[in-house]
Every structure is written in C-alpha cells, then in structure tokens.
Structure 1
C-alpha cells in the first residue's frame, strides 16, 4: 500500500517540530517553506545576493535529515559577533545561499541538499523568488517587510506578498501546487500566523490549490498569542483569518491545545514575543472549521510553551487513518 502523503506548510521554528516527529512514520512527507523572511542572517543574505532567505529552509532541512549530531552542529554553527561580515551567520545559511547561486535557483539547491543530507521527505520553497511581505492594518497603515510588522501597534487586517526584486506576480515554486493537489493531508503550522503561514498561502497559485484540493486541510493552532501579530486572539480568530485570506472556509480540522500554561512558567526574557495563552472559543471554531480536536498537545521546555510533535503527529495519523 502507498504511504499517506502529508504536506506541511509554514516556516519559523514551528513546523520543524512536526516534521521531526513525522520523519519516523510511514508517510510521504513534503515541506513547503516560506521565503518572506527579511530579518537577521536571512535578511542580510537575501539582500546581498538577491536569493531567497535560507534560514527557514535550513531549519526544515535539519528536521528531516538523519545527519549525525556532529554534522548538525557544523551546519548550525553561527559565526561569532567579532567575525566582521560573517558575524551572526549560521554556516548552513551560507551553504544554502551558495548552492542556490551555483544551481541557479533555491528549488534546485534544496533538491541537491536533500540528497546530500539524506532527508526523509521533499522540501520546496513556496516560491523560487524572495518575497516581500506587506501587512495592512485595520487603521489603513501598511508595513512593508516581515521583520517590521510586529513593531507597528495595531491589528492586522490582511497581508499580501510581492516579488522582492522584480515587478512580476509571485508564483509558486515547482512541484508545490502538484504536492498540494496530490496530498492526503495538508498541515498548516504551527507557527506565526501572519509571518510564517500566510506568506505561503497568499501566493495565488497556492491559495487556489488549497481551495481545490481534496486533501484533508488541518490547522495546528498556536498555543500562545504573539506580540504584534495575534494579541488578544482566540483560537477561532486564528482560523477566521486563514479563511478570510482564502475567501472561503477551507479548513477541515483544527487541533487545539487545552493543557494550561502557567504564567509563572514562561521565561519572558527569552520568549518576550509570546504573551498569554490563546483563548478558547469553541462555538466560533465550529463555525470556522468542520471539526475541532482539543487535547493536550503541550510541551513545556526551557521556559517556553511548544507543541509536542509526537502528540500532534499521533492525532494527524488518526485523522488520515479514518479518512483513508
């Protein structure tokens, strides 16, 4: 029997948690990764070389690879602050950027690197061009650039993307639409709603594919609200924003963590962007999605509240088993 096909869409540090747990399961995995990051090392590299930002791709590559611990440490090594032009850059970011330039595209680079690092699944940038994220706030003010969005006080009305280095309409990278259409399940998140998940979904080809796919679309709702993005949001608010951006209720299932997070536990110095636990609105969720699964998906670690990848994946596989 063929393996179930699961495509995970997002970026940041959220989806690697899910991908690590999926890696050991009997599933065919595809990761579609955002290319709108313009901060930190990724932002400097994309500006200098006009390539897609490598940071989120680096994290996904590590999550799906069986590379020995020493290789991982080399790949993740970050140059010291005293290292001049290289200061703060992870070696893996430079490697991805260099191979992207050598191969002529980030798509080609990732196909080479997935073989080199023996990854379990396939990794596709959502677009082969670096994208610029635009956020339009409810007061009409527009912020340009993913790294600047959280600095503007107010509620985001909607986001959209443009190509960073040409005037053409943003397009999906090769195989992305095909993967969405041929999947048994699409997993959105976990991750920053406006800056990790939506930058992929607002590419017109991807949004159209998500509206048309017969795959089970599952959203893993965030555990904590995020400063400058989802302050005061309930779980239903998260799903409503996704549906509004695609113009229809396309989410089939929402996974919601109901295990409480103690305010005293969170390390506000290390995780200052995360504010309070997302409020529950189950009536609102039932209006926005076909099914809601609420359970303990919590992993408390190093002063932060994260998803437990194994618990989430166990639930995802139950959904697929019922569906197939």
Structure 2
C-alpha cells in the first residue's frame, strides 16, 4: 500500500508516535501494519542475536548481528517490492561462507565497517531504502545475552540459553567486545521513548528478543520515566527453552520483575483457539503449546486486558494478525488519558 493511500489519523495535527521494542520474526508483521496506518514509527531492535546468518557474520567480522534489523527495515520501506526481494534474497550457493546468507545482512555488515558503527550504518541504509520511520539498534555495539537459571547455573548467548531447556530466572546483557563496559542506548533511542504516545513490547521471544532491550540500563530508566502507555503483545505459543508452561500472566510478570516495577499497562491476548494438528512442528520447531490464560493473575500485573481474536494462520504456522493488533495499538494511542 502506497504512503498516499494509507489511512491518515492524527493527534493534535500530527501522526501518533509509536515506539516498538523487540526483535525476531513477529516484529516486522506488526510494524508493517502500523506503517500502513500512517503511524510515526520508531523500531528499537535487539543486537544480541547469535544464531543463523546473523551469528555467522558476527563471528566472522565482529559486527552487530544484522538479521532482525534487516527485516525491520523491509517492513517500513517504501521501496519497490522487487528491490526488497533482492535485499531479502538468501544465497543457495554451497560456498562455505555465502550459503544461507541474506544479501541484506551482508550490506548491513559492509555499511557498519564503512561507517565504523551500526547506528550510523542503519540510518544510511534507511535513507537508501526509503524507510518511513526510524530504525534504531538498541546499542551501538554487539551485546551478549546472559542468563541465570532457577538451578543457579548460568549461560551466555541466545543459542546456549534456549538450548539449555532450563527455567530462566533472570537475564542481563553485557558489551561483547568490552565486558566491563555497561551497554548504553544512544541518545535518539532515549528521546524516542520519551516522546512516544505508546510504547509497544513484542511480539517476540520473551527472554531473547524483548528483555535484551529492556536490560540496557539507560533505556530501562527512560521506559520507567516515560508517560507513554506501555502495551505488551503476548505471544500466542510457548517457546522451547524460554517460556515452557507459561501463562499470559507469567509473561507479564517476568517483564515487570526485570523492570523492577509494574510498568506494563495493557496486554493484548489472543483468545482464538489454535486448531489442533495445524502447526508444522518440524518447520516451527521452537514452538510448543498455546499460551494458557490466567486473567485473575493478569489483573495483578497490568491494568488493562484486551482479549480478542488476533490469530492468523498460514503456511502451517501460527502468527499474529498484524492489522488487528495495529488497530488496537492505534486505538490506545488516540485515547486522551492513556
């Protein structure tokens, strides 16, 4: 949908400012729908991924993992779909380096070397790709995700943490290249949070896509200080090695506990039944079962519960319906006293 054909909605003469914080495959779905509804979007994206093409590139040339950033750029771009297809293309070559890599990941890695930092690289690429909005890496250096499990053991790195299949007690991030330096979000990230009408968390993996952003201390402080409504988009399915046996209330409690305050104001919960035997568990092998509902416990964690059919089924996968989720987010943005 072209920019001129989008539904134009304004708050006091301006587009609603929506900040979305997260990572993973679910985030671009929501961003694309918000983009089509003319929201002023800032996407704050995790830089702690250590798997797949992103992880290999990170190991080879020591840059921030580009995969989540690439997908977010595409979701907000007004470029021709044919150009975006090139950017998203993955090599099928059997070459030991290029096989499986997306062209966009390599471009982001190259620009990071040219600009000497990921933040400026992403801003350069945003201009090249006609991105409508802002895409901000949460930090200007690669971060390592660390976890302590309920049994007292620890692990470092997304892959190691989820692969342990243990109940996670808490997570935190460290600077990959300089472990003694506290990770810091750059000034535009903090300003976007302070200027937001609504701040959206998710959708995405709770411990490895959402919380890594919230564990950057100055971002966390800004989130706690901001007057914006905080909306959490609850996952539809539990995730292997992260949220096994979790209810929707468990998800929110983990976020609030890590923030040290009951900061989640509103939760969007899918109420539609996931059909039995629909999900292809071989293709989507990180998913387990639908997230259970505990509305009594939820009421103790947040003030507003929006339970609706947010389900989209395609490709034998279970996803959020981006249009329905975006509509609820914008409805909250236009509330006078949210």
Root-mean-square deviation (CA, aligned residues, Å) is: 1.0
Q: Which residue of 2 aligns with 1:179?
A: 192
Alignment partners' CA distance in 2, 1:214 and 1:176? 16
> Structure 1: how far apart are the matches of 2:93 and 2:172?
34
Q: 1:231 aligns with which of 244, 254, 271?
A: 244
Structure 2 residue 254 is the aligned partner of structure 1 residue 241:
yes
Aligned to 1:203, which of 213, 216, 220?
216
After TM superposition, give the deviation of residue 86 of structure 1 in Å.
Answer: 1.6
Q: Return the alpha-carbon distance in structure 2 between the equivalents of residues 115 and 203 of structure 1.
A: 27
Alpha-carbon displacement from aligned partner over 1:169-190 (angstroms, at most 9, x marks no partner):
1111331111101100000000
- C-alpha displacement at 1:87, in angstroms? 1.7
Distance 2:235 2:165 in 1: 21
Q: Distance in 2 between matches of 1:22 and 1:153?
A: 34
**Cα distance between partner residues in 2 of 1:254 and 1:91:** 36
User: d(CA) in 2 for partners of 1:6 and 1:181?
Assistant: 11
CA deviation digits over 1:255-310, x for unaligned, max 9? Answer: 00000001211111111111110000001111000111100100011111100000
Q: In structure 2, what is the equivalent of residue 41 of structure 1?
A: 53
Give the TM-score, by structure 1 length.
Answer: 0.98
- 1:144 Cα offset (Å): 0.6
Equivalent in the alignment of 1:142: 154
SS across alignment from 2:231: strand
TM-score between the two structures when normalised by the length of structure 2: 0.94
Residue matched to 1:99: 111
Asked if 1:277 corresponds to 2:323, the answer is no
Q: In the alignment, is the contact (CA less than 8 A) between 2:48 and 2:144 conserved in 1?
A: yes
1:221 aligns with 2:231: no
Which whole-Å CA distance do the structure 2 matches of 1:323 and 1:104 have between them? 43
Per the alignment, residue 82 of structure 1 pairs with: 94
What CA distance in whole angstroms lies between the structure 1 residues aligned with 2:182 and 2:128?
32
Query: Is 1:153 the equivalent of 2:165?
Result: yes
Corresponding position of 2:135? 123
Match of 1:27 among 35, 39, 52: 39
Gaps of 5+ in 1: none
CA distance in 2, matches of 1:206, 1:271: 32
In 2, Cα distance between the equivalents of 1:318 and 1:39?
Answer: 36
SS of aligned partner of 2:170: strand
Partner of 2:5: none
After the TM superposition, which parts of structure 1 deviate over 2 Å for at least 4 consecutive aligned residues? none
CA distance in 1, matches of 2:70, 2:323: 21
Partner of 1:290: 303
Q: Which runs of 5+ in 2 are unaligned?
A: 1-12
Does 129-138 or 73-82 show the bigger shift? 73-82
Give distance in 2, aligned partners of 1:223 and 1:285.
15
Q: Distance in 1 between matches of 2:226 and 2:207?
A: 22
Counterpart-to-counterpart distance in 2, 1:81 and 1:24: 35
Taking the aligned partners of 2:203 and 2:336, their CA distance within structure 1 comes to 22
SS at match of 1:23: helix
* Cα deviation, residue 26, structure 1: 2.8
